[in-house]
Structure 1
Amino acid sequence: MVQGLLSGFALAFGYGVGVLLVIAYLFFELPAPRRKLEFYAKRVTVVLVAIIFVVCLWHMTYWQNSIRELMDMPPLQSAYPIRTAVLAVVFGVLLITVGRTFVSFCVWMSEKLNWFLPRRVAVSLGVVIVGLGTLFVVNGVVARFLLKIADAASLRADELIEEGWEKPADPMACGSSQSLVSWQSIGRQGKKFLLEGPTEQGIEEFWDGSGVSPIRVYVGMRSRSTPEERARLALQELKRVNAFDRSVLIVATPTGTGWLDPGAVDTVEYLHRGDTAIVCTQYSYMPSWLTILVDPTRSVRSARCLFDEIYDYWKTLPKDNRPRLYLHGLSLGSLGSEVSANLYTIFEDPIQGAVWSGPPFPSSQWSAVVQARNEDSPAWLPRYEDGALLRFTSQENMLDTGKRWGSIRSVYIQYASDPMVFFSPDLWRRKPEWLVGERGPDVSPHLTWYPLVTFLQVAFDLPMATSVPIGYGHNYSPKSYLDAWIAVTRPDDWSEEHRHRLLELMNGPVDEPDDGNG
């Protein structure tokens, strides 16, 4: 289905480019081509398109399996090229019909204006008028209608409560009867975060010794009406549950749906025997890729409000008697989290570091670092300066470079096959750096950049970014998080045996022990 829609878009775009070139040729009143030349040009074009179409269908299954092999997925016997072709043609014709209708309106408007305006002026003004009218209808009516449907569906999903999800009985738990945060005001992902995860008993069993119950605080969108109010409520709840007595405090920014990856939060709680506190405020209930289209600044506002509230209180505590402070964010949460701690604000009293995963393409800080990376490093796995402050890692742990880490340690986790990271609005006209030179281990060697086509391919991958196995695309594995948290937080009494046992517990893949200390 997705491949058919994508191919239909490509067909329609290609047809549209050809029509625009013809319109431009006629607009400038250049000499008309000879009819014989026009006759043969059309037929040659049709034959070339047909050949390319058949060749692509012929290689379709092979190309799909080249990706599946890299992602440890079983090969397909068939990618259903005939069904895909039929869907592509039908959808492409539908889009072309819409486009031709638009052109017809432009011609009609231009003819009306040509009664009292020069021809070229009438044509230009006609296109502008119809274009603006169409844009108004699409944005003001169609897009708003679709967003309203998506918003309503996301809200219903956020309100869903699975069987067995009951208000916490522990009075010290967030959402309990004694909590400042109402259980009813917490969305589905927030309830899941509060109810699931390591318990004191589970941590004691893992360590064969002492452990405590981790502290988790989550403030939902319905808990308070503004990001500032939600941040203040989160701080009050942290104080109530004595979170500032813990050794590790993590200010986390969730994805667009309000989700926090268990692979990220559970691992760090096990690492530190539960002596942790994680605080989070919800800013949306729509998927990250959809939230980016609607309002990508939501996560930034929410993350800044929460960090400022927590940090302003944290820095008043004695430095030798307060938790180490870290940041965390996945996907759209990474976009907000990475800029929440203003450098000039924390310069005098710095935090201890951050773990960010799947930074989306609009992320300004991430983009600036990738552009400023060392010249001998690829875009999908950059090396930044000497790595004392910031490092990147992927499926394999690349954090132990043998060089000095600073007192503030920050890590970006990104997979080369993650479209949320490597999509770019200028893909339609420029070959991306991640397709130049050495490729990521999970990018097909047969992927070739074509104008417009590659843009459409990666754009269509965005909503499908989590439909691949864990450890690829936008599905980040516990192993990647674990390696990052070990490097950033430097837990005590940690060994490779603990690492393997925890990965088995988290159902993540276990690799060979690292030569270094991570």
Structure 2
Amino acid sequence: MPPTDSHPTPGWLARPSAIGLLVAAAFFGLSMTPSMVPRAPEMQGALGGVVAAIGYLLGWTAVLVSGWLGLATRGPHRQWGTGMVIAVAVGIVFISLWMGSAWQGSVLEAWGLPPVEASAPLWIALIAGGLFAVLLALGRLFVRTTARLQRRGQRNLPPRVAQAAGIVAALVIFGAVIEGVALRGLLRVADTSARLADAVIPPDGAPPASPFVSGGPGSALDWQELGRWGRSFVASGPTAEDIAAFWGEPALSPIRVYVGLNAADTPEARARLAFDELIRLDGFDRAFLVVAMPTGSGWLDPGGVDTLDYITRGDVATVSVQYSYLPSPVSVVVDPTQGVAEAQALFDIVYRHWTTLPVDARPRLYLHGLSLGAFLSQETVPMLDLYSDPIMGALWTGSPYLSELWQMVQARRHADSPAWRPRFGNGSLIRTANQQGGLERHDADWGPMRFVFLQYGSDPIVFFDWSLAWARPDWLAGERAPDLTPQMRWIPVVTLFQVGFDMAVALGTLGYGHDYAAQHYIPAWAETLTPEGWTAEDEARLIAHLSGLVPR
């Protein structure tokens, strides 16, 4: 149990530390400042409660240390009085709640969204207060446990050794409970829920009639085993008739190959199934062949794959394999290496066969991925091995912060280019773009390979970094992305939690955050693929045609 300012070991209902509450209020106020993504009252309240608890811990620790040093009686709270300190803390909370609406409004304005509701501050206060109380109770439980273990240790150990041993033992116990019970329990629930959702087939769901997709007529892959998003992928998208109507001339039916996680036990076996299906459908006879890695749940963004089908006039085969049921952030925690093995196995088997084909009679080979899929796709590129027989390129969307390639592009960018749209090298190998473009800015023509990064400046999954706790990021210095509020400021520790929470709510507004729109895929794909005869008028027509496309 955390001690008060005057008593080192108070009871369960003892008055909290006044200095701790003051620091907690300050941290809560800082958490209300604008961040990358608009936050609903529920998420803002959760963030405020967590950050306030951290602030309380820091304030309580400062009081504890000052007492140990004999300085407690000289602190300002002894001069002003505990009541005055608490009154200041309450005032900070009220001012923060009042200003929070304007701060949040600046983020909503940058995204073109309506202002916050009038009831938002009340909900934030209730949620933050409740969560803070729970965390405070857990902190007191930790201190009481530590004190009890220390008293037991003093029976056989010197006092200071017993104190250290008690702290270590309490940390081990609480760590085991959090990791072994709470965290693993949540992961089991998430895994079970994701598995059930992946297996659910809507009442109106039926195998596709197209013979050019997995699960369709003649396919060796069971449609029911493709998974939720695999079934959606092969059953949706434009038909040859849709594409022909847009171009005003005959078009092909796009080939879509997808292998679900339940189709085989190993990544290599699933990759082999995908390859065999690709061979059966004559995928290597198409003009374009795209190896696409899905997100952690197995989802492929229709905004990316449907635009691909239109731009190539249907003369394309897209192959993908599911490696997880879980959303990308959870997949990274559970087993990020599983996705790497799947991506590597799929790329290797496709690339090996592709290199055996005559250069003038094989498709143009590309890679694609969104979010965790982009990271996994990048991990499979054996850059040094591609020089003898290079692929044509890749479009990687929303590359997450754990991508070493994306980090390198940011770190080695031209000094006059912003971190949210970096300009790398002379532009012959790598170019980046956002909603406002960027691909046209280069010093040299494209080389044999074209690697295009598409990212939004307001995407926290792209720009999160643990160093946010102690260093201001480059994307908050100098020129800012248009979709990032000018009122956002870097605050040590707080910004780390803000952007971390932003990652959980980065979806939901098409064209911002981590929700990529078809209209922005179109110029990125066109630059990557360089389709014959493609014009600015074609781009504008396709954007207008797909303006209502929602990537879900």
TM-score normalised by L of structure 2: 0.88
Residue 330 of structure 1 deviates from its aligned partner by: 0.1
3-state SS of 1:338 partner: helix
CA distance in 2, matches of 1:295, 1:79: 40
Relative distance call for 1:495 and 1:48 in structure 2 (3 A) is same
Counterpart amino acid of residue 422 in structure 2: P
Residue 322 of structure 1 deviates from its aligned partner by: 0.3
CA distance in 1, matches of 2:65, 2:268: 52
1:431 aligned to which of 449, 472, 480: 472
3-state SS of 2:379 partner: coil
The equivalent of 1:39 in structure 2 is 78
Conserved in 2, the CA contact under 8 Å of 1:253 and 1:330?
A: yes
CA distance in 2, matches of 1:286, 1:45: 46
CA distance in 2, matches of 1:69, 1:441: 11
CA distance in 2, matches of 1:60, 1:263: 34
CA distance in 1, matches of 2:244, 2:87: 70
The equivalent of 1:441 in structure 2 is 482
CA distance in 1, matches of 2:233, 2:396: 18
CA distance in 2, matches of 1:150, 1:64: 30
Conserved in 1, the CA contact under 8 Å of 2:307 and 2:518?
A: yes
Counterpart amino acid of residue 456 in structure 1: F
Residue 38 of structure 1 deviates from its aligned partner by: 4.8
2:390 aligned to which of 317, 338, 350: 350
1:2 aligned to which of 27, 43, 47: 43
1:454 aligned to which of 461, 472, 495: 495
Conserved in 1, the CA contact under 8 Å of 2:288 and 2:364?
A: yes
Conserved in 1, the CA contact under 8 Å of 2:110 and 2:482?
A: yes
The equivalent of 1:330 in structure 2 is 370
Residue 79 of structure 1 deviates from its aligned partner by: 5.5
1:318 aligned to which of 345, 348, 358: 358
Residue 146 of structure 1 deviates from its aligned partner by: 0.8
Counterpart amino acid of residue 492 in structure 2: P
1:226 aligned to which of 254, 266, 290: 266
CA distance in 2, matches of 1:33, 1:133: 31
Deviates more, 1:495-504 or 1:127-136: 495-504
Does residue 69 (structure 1) correspond to residue 80 (structure 2)? The answer is no
Count of residues in Structure 1 that have an aligned counterpart in Structure 2:
506
The equivalent of 1:252 in structure 2 is 292
3-state SS of 1:485 partner: helix
The equivalent of 1:102 in structure 2 is 142
Residue 37 of structure 1 deviates from its aligned partner by: 5.0
Does residue 190 (structure 1) correspond to residue 230 (structure 2)? The answer is yes
Note the residue ranges of structure 1 that are not aligned, 5 or more in a row: 510-518
CA distance in 2, matches of 1:58, 1:472: 26
CA distance in 1, matches of 2:282, 2:66: 72
Conserved in 1, the CA contact under 8 Å of 2:426 and 2:442?
A: no
Residue 44 of structure 1 deviates from its aligned partner by: 5.4
CA distance in 1, matches of 2:106, 2:210: 51
3-state SS of 2:345 partner: helix
The equivalent of 2:32 in structure 1 is none
The equivalent of 1:413 in structure 2 is 454
- What do the CA deviations read for 1:115-147 (whole angstroms, capped 9, x no partner)? 332333222221111111211121111111111
CA distance in 2, matches of 1:228, 1:268: 27
- What do the CA deviations read for 1:166-191 (whole angstroms, capped 9, x no partner)? 11234443112521211121101001
Residue 70 of structure 1 deviates from its aligned partner by: 1.0
Note the residue ranges of structure 2 that are not aligned, 5 or more in a row: 1-41
3-state SS of 1:133 partner: helix
CA distance in 2, matches of 1:96, 1:74: 35
Residue 354 of structure 1 deviates from its aligned partner by: 0.4
CA distance in 1, matches of 2:119, 2:465: 27
Residue 433 of structure 1 deviates from its aligned partner by: 1.8
Residue 302 of structure 1 deviates from its aligned partner by: 1.4
1:158 aligned to which of 198, 207, 219: 198
Please give the root-mean-square deviation of Cα atoms over the aligned residues, in Å: 1.7
Residue 40 of structure 1 deviates from its aligned partner by: 3.2
The equivalent of 1:21 in structure 2 is 62
Deviates more, 1:284-293 or 1:186-195: 284-293
Residue 333 of structure 1 deviates from its aligned partner by: 0.2
The equivalent of 1:512 in structure 2 is none
The equivalent of 1:140 in structure 2 is 180
The equivalent of 1:514 in structure 2 is none
Residue 296 of structure 1 deviates from its aligned partner by: 2.5
2:161 aligned to which of 115, 118, 121: 121
Does residue 12 (structure 1) correspond to residue 48 (structure 2)? The answer is no
Conserved in 2, the CA contact under 8 Å of 1:334 and 1:358?
A: yes
1:371 aligned to which of 390, 396, 411: 411
Relative distance call for 1:48 and 1:495 in structure 2 (3 A) is same
Residue 466 of structure 1 deviates from its aligned partner by: 0.3
Counterpart amino acid of residue 435 in structure 2: Q
3-state SS of 2:295 partner: coil
- What do the CA deviations read for 1:279-307 (whole angstroms, capped 9, x no partner)? 00001111112212222233222111110
Conserved in 2, the CA contact under 8 Å of 1:235 and 1:309?
A: yes
Deviates more, 1:220-229 or 1:285-294: 285-294
3-state SS of 2:451 partner: strand
3-state SS of 1:216 partner: strand
Counterpart amino acid of residue 261 in structure 1: D
Counterpart amino acid of residue 34 in structure 1: T
% identity of equivalent residues: 41
CA distance in 2, matches of 1:248, 1:95: 54
CA distance in 2, matches of 1:40, 1:336: 58
Residue 164 of structure 1 deviates from its aligned partner by: 3.0
CA distance in 2, matches of 1:212, 1:381: 35
3-state SS of 1:222 partner: helix
Counterpart amino acid of residue 230 in structure 2: G
Counterpart amino acid of residue 253 in structure 1: M
Relative distance call for 1:386 and 1:49 in structure 2 (3 A) is farther
Counterpart amino acid of residue 70 in structure 2: P
CA distance in 2, matches of 1:446, 1:318: 56
The equivalent of 2:9 in structure 1 is none
Residue 372 of structure 1 deviates from its aligned partner by: 1.6
CA distance in 2, matches of 1:455, 1:402: 33
Conserved in 2, the CA contact under 8 Å of 1:223 and 1:230?
A: yes
Residue 259 of structure 1 deviates from its aligned partner by: 0.7
CA distance in 2, matches of 1:36, 1:81: 33
Residue 371 of structure 1 deviates from its aligned partner by: 1.3
3-state SS of 1:391 partner: strand
CA distance in 1, matches of 2:75, 2:58: 23
- What do the CA deviations read for 1:372-430 (whole angstroms, capped 9, x no partner)? 21222221111111111001111111101253221211111111111111112232222
1:274 aligned to which of 310, 314, 317: 314
Counterpart amino acid of residue 8 in structure 1: G
The equivalent of 1:516 in structure 2 is none
CA distance in 1, matches of 2:404, 2:61: 34
CA distance in 1, matches of 2:481, 2:88: 33
Deviates more, 1:58-67 or 1:317-326: 58-67
Does residue 477 (structure 1) correspond to residue 517 (structure 2)? The answer is yes
CA distance in 2, matches of 1:211, 1:384: 37
TM-score normalised by L of structure 1: 0.94
